[in-house]
A and B are shown apart, each in its own frame.
Chain A
């Protein structure tokens, strides 16, 4: 059917052919709202507070008076944090340890679980549910559960090991040398289930014909995994990496519930809370800590975004 392209396009919604750029008023309003409202929300709730935190980190303010009571002190907050604030360097280390641990241990364990459960063994659905159950529990409840498990005299672990007497007591949560690892076990307990589900979905996309071909050729299971399955999981790996980094940098609830993030369980997020929301109310100081956490978080974000855009082009 020949159409006169020089003629003005009809405005009926049913005609599939439309010139790009000729939108009706109603369409324009719709587009503006659909882009504008989320944009406004992101600007108001993410960009504005971030920029405000960066600006406030150069001030000394107790948050109670008006904006005119803010005292600008330059980089004093940062100097103090780095030199005389005892919990800072332990918190920094713990955040990095948390990130490394989550990336190495529960992620690979989740992958192993997914690989095993993908084999359609009997009761695989039941196992999946069991391993996924901790994921649906909030981190604060996870912290609470493990606090009971690790309690010195009344807890499960010490009673099973028989170490409940004053002489041989293992102080899982009170000993700063081991409590971070005890808490990481609790975090890994939850994280492994999460990763397992992601990888289970990814493994479904591996071509079974390839696997059969490898089996016929006599390849060992490990060889088949390394050369066929793992490369096919590349898109899932990116998702898993992002999720792991997010969970690691977001770590707060477990530690706060157990002992308010003191004595070996310091984390930057808890330090921010202590200084801003706690009784202390040192807004400038807490903002400086938040900016430091922001800088740490930006590194994986930049790496990820650079990677994603590189692939697209």
Chain B
């Protein structure tokens, strides 16, 4: 039938081009993978359809807990939630690409300057109408943390958690340790642990951000909350005597930190705490993720010790995690409905039932079902004079990721060259904040 002799180069080219054109045409058909809800016409009173949800809750326990909260929503409303989970650290690093590409309708993010930065650039939709519904459940401080630089709200809080010095009660009882109230007691306690064969402070900084907790607390205890916030905003010099004192204080503690931190992730360091090989760890309440349910009852914390009596233990580092609405959502009505649900006490309680290593942001959440450690964390935060978010949420993201992560890692390798280090940070800060 088909005569091979007739197959000239020309005919092959024609068939090939026809094939390409057909393939291109077909690919154009399949671009719409998200069925859009009827959010755009606004006439429907009850939201429906599908809402896409970008989440960074990649560790096992938070992932299960979030799914439980979303299942609760799917049952009560008619809306289907399409959950996309991305690895936690990767999500933050890709956020620029993600928000400028085709982001999910609702995405997980953090309060503080890190949220205001992206809201200011128009990458999120303002949700003041959602806040009109849920505003009654939140204090002024939470509303401020959720407000963008233009005075409108962009963020719905979900949960928060304090950073503190965590330990196992059984280890402290067995060796007769007492929580340290000030810096000298802290050093003495670490010394004692070392002579008892424990690693005093479990420590990991391969991902760069865990060490920020220690830095933030040392800064707030040494120089006070106002100086810390000012420094994060780029209004103070890193070469000032105050900052150098912070690094010198840290240098005194460094011998008690776990060796080889730059090659270890925080989950493995927390394992040392679980295995009773380490005595303490400066970490957030989510360190409980690494404990089994039974072991978690043995977990306890004390607030980071006082260094300068003028500042005492006033400030607490308690980052708020929550959700935002992306700039051009496919199903805006349903997405706002979902955000209202997540900002409410019910969703937060369902979440905390599965992942009890956080505290509900809503003041109407039922705290009677809290474990003892959650109650203690709740009291710590509500009693705090000032609350900070975390270094990488209180300052510009480009400063935190390109300058501070390598700088702190360099300090951990070479703790003696503080002058050179702060000079380099100050020069880069001026270049970025300019």
A residues contacting B by CB (< 8 A) are 13, 26-27, 30, 33-34, 62-65, 80, 83-87, 152-153, 166, 169, 171-176, 179, 259-260, 262-263, 274-275, 277-282
Contacts of A153 in B (CB 8 A): 268
- What residues of chain A lie closer than 8 Å to B171, measured between beta carbons? none
Query: With the chains together, A83 CA to B428 CA distance in Å?
Result: 10
Q: Residue A152 contacts which of B199, B208, B263, B402 (CB distance < 8 angstroms)?
A: B263
B206 & A259 in contact (Cβ 8 Å cutoff):
yes
Rounded to whole Å, the gap between the CB of B102 and the closest CB of chain A is 15
Do A84 and B398 form a contact, CB below 8 Å, given A174-B206, A263-B413?
no
Minimum CB–CB distance for A138 against chain B, Å: 17
Q: Do residues A84 and B427 form an inter-chain contact, with CB atoms below 8 A? A: yes
- B254-284 Cβ-contact flags toward A at 8 Å (1 or 0): 0000111111100010000000000000000
A83 to B10, CA, bound (A): 59
Q: Which residues on A sit within 8 Å (CB–CB) of B428? A: 84-86
Shortest C-beta distance, A132 to chain B (Å), equals 31
**Contact-residue bracket for chain B:** 35 or more
Report the minimum CB–CB distance from B216 to chain A (whole Å).
Answer: 18
Distance between Cα atoms of A176 and B94 in the complex (Å): 26
- The answer for the CA separation of A184 and B376 in the assembled complex, in Å, is 49
Q: Is B8 an interface residue (CB 8 A)?
A: yes
A175 to B17 Cα, complex, angstroms? 55
Give 1 or 0 for each of B344-388: 1 = CB within 8 Å of chain A CB: 000000000000000000000000000000000000000000000
The interface bits of chain B over 397-424 (1 if a CB of A lies within 8 angstroms of the residue's CB, else 0) are: 1101110011101100100000000001
In the complex, residue of chain B having the shortest beta-carbon distance to the beta carbon of A13: B8
Decide: B263 and A172 in contact? CB cutoff 8 A.
yes
For the complex, is B100 an interface residue (Cβ under 8 Å from A)? yes
**Contacting pair A278 B96 (CB below 8 A):** yes
A263 B262 Cβ-Cβ under 8 A:
yes
Check A86 against B96 for contact (C-beta < 8 Å).
Answer: no
A63 near B96: Cβ-Cβ < 8 Å? yes
Given A34-B13, A152-B260, list of 9 further CB < 8 A pairs? Answer: A13-B10, A64-B122, A64-B123, A86-B428, A87-B406, A259-B206, A262-B406, A278-B96, A280-B397
Q: Enumerate the 7 nearest inter-chain pairs by beta-carbon distance, A residue then B residue, closest first.
A: A174-B263, A280-B398, A174-B262, A171-B260, A279-B397, A84-B427, A64-B121
Please tell me if B431 contacts chain A, counting CB pairs below 8 Å.
Answer: yes
Q: Given A174-B263, A279-B95, does the pair A274, B8 have CB atoms closer than 8 Å?
A: no
B345 CB to closest chain A CB, in angstroms? 32
Give the secondary structure class of A's interface.
loop
User: Which residues of B sit under 8 angstroms from A275, Cβ to Cβ?
Assistant: 398, 402
Smallest beta-carbon distance B307→chain A, Å? 27
How far, in angstroms, from A192 to B138 measured CA to CA in the complex? 61
Return B430 CB to nearest CB of chain A, in Å.
9
On whether the beta carbons of A171 and B208 are closer than 8 Å, the reply is no
- State whether A152 touches B264 (Cβ < 8 A): yes
Q: Which residues on the A side are within 8 Å of B59 (C-beta)?
A: none
- Please, how many angstroms separate the alpha-carbon atoms of A297 and B226 in the complex? 48
User: Roughly how many angstroms separate A80 CA and B9 CA in the complex, as a whole number?
Assistant: 56
Q: Is the CB of B402 within 8 A of A80?
A: no
Distance in angstroms from B9 CB to nearest chain A CB is 8
| Chain A minimum-CB-distance residue to B407 | A86
Given A85-B428, A153-B268, A263-B409, A277 and B208 contact (CB-CB distance below 8 Å)? no
Q: A176 CA to B410 CA in the complex, in Å?
A: 10
Within the complex, the shortest CB–CB distance from B26 to chain A, in Å, comes to 19
Residues of B within 8 A of A174 (CB): 206, 260-264
Tell me which residues from 85 to 107 in chain B have a Cβ below 8 Å from any Cβ of chain A.
92-97, 100
B-side contacts of A169, CB under 8 Å: 259-260
In the bound complex, CA of A86 to CA of B406 (Å):
8
Say how far A68's CB is from chain B's closest CB, in angstroms.
Answer: 14
In the bound complex, residues from chain B placing their C-beta under 8 Å from that of A282 are: 398, 402, 432
Contact A277 B96 (CB under 8 A): yes
Measured CB to CB, the nearest residue on chain B to A274 is B402
- Given the contacts A174-B262, A262-B208, A30 and B10 also touching, CB distance less than 8 Å: yes
Alpha-carbon distance between A274 and B260 when the two chains are bound, in angstroms: 24
CB<8 Å pairs between A and B, sample of 11: A13-B10, A33-B17, A86-B406, A86-B428, A87-B406, A172-B263, A262-B208, A262-B406, A280-B397, A280-B401, A281-B96
Assembly CA distance A175 to B261 (angstroms): 9
Q: Which of B123, B258, B406, B413 has the most CB of A within 10 A?
A: B406
Q: Mark B5-47, 1 if CB is under 8 A from A, else 0.
A: 0001110010001000000000000000000000000000000
- A279 contacts B398, C-beta separation under 8 Å: yes
Beyond A153-B268, A274-B402, A278-B93, whether A26 also contacts B10 by CB under 8 A is yes
Residue of A nearest to B206 (CB): A259
Question: With A and B bound together, what is the CA distance between A80 and B17 in angstroms?
Answer: 50
Cβ–Cβ contact B121 & A62, under 8 A:
yes
CB distance from A180 to the nearest CB of B (A): 13
Among residues of B, the one whose C-beta sits closest to the C-beta of A259 is: B206
Residues of A within 8 A of B260 (CB): 152, 169, 171, 174-175
CB closest chain-B residue, reference A80: B431
**Considering residues A13, A26, A262, A282, which has the most beta carbons from chain B within 10 angstroms of its beta carbon?**
A262
Complex: how many Å from CA A275 to CA B97?
12
Quick check: A84 and B424 within 8 Å, CB to CB? yes
* Interface positions of B from 315 to 362, Cβ below 8 Å from A: none
Q: Are A277 and B94 in contact (CB under 8 A)?
A: yes
Which residues of chain B are near A62, meaning CB under 8 Å? 121
Residues of A within 8 A of B206 (CB): 174, 259
Indicate whether A171 sits within 8 Å of B122 (C-beta atoms), given known contacts A63-B96, A84-B428. no
Give the docked Cα–Cα distance between A263 and B93 (Å): 18
* A92-B262 Cα distance, complex, nearest whole Å: 22
Shortest Cβ gap from A70 to chain B (Å): 14
Residues on B with C-beta less than 8 A from A172 are 263
Find out whether the CB atom of A176 lies under 8 angstroms from the CB atom of B401. Answer: no
Q: A85-B428, A263-B262, A263-B409 are contacts. A65–B401 as well, Cβ < 8 Å?
A: no
CB-CB nearest in chain B for A261: B406
Residues of chain B within 8 A (CB-CB) of A65 are 121
Chain A's closest residue to B261 (CB) is A174
Q: How far is A166 from B17 in the complex, measured between Cα atoms in Å?
A: 65
Interface centre among B100, B402, B424 (most CB of A within 10 A): B402
The docked-state distance in angstroms from the alpha carbon of A121 to that of B398 is: 57
Determine the chain B residues whose CB is within 8 A of the CB of A260 once the complex forms.
93, 207-208
Contacting residue for A173 out of B97, B207, B263, CB 8 A? B263
Q: Which residues of B contact A27 (CB under 8 A)?
A: 10
Chain A residues with Cβ under 8 A from B13's Cβ?
30, 33-34
Q: Least Cβ distance of A75 to chain B in Å?
A: 13
List, in ascending order, chain B residues with CB within 8 A of A171's CB: 259-260, 262-263
Contacts of A83 in B (CB 8 A): 427
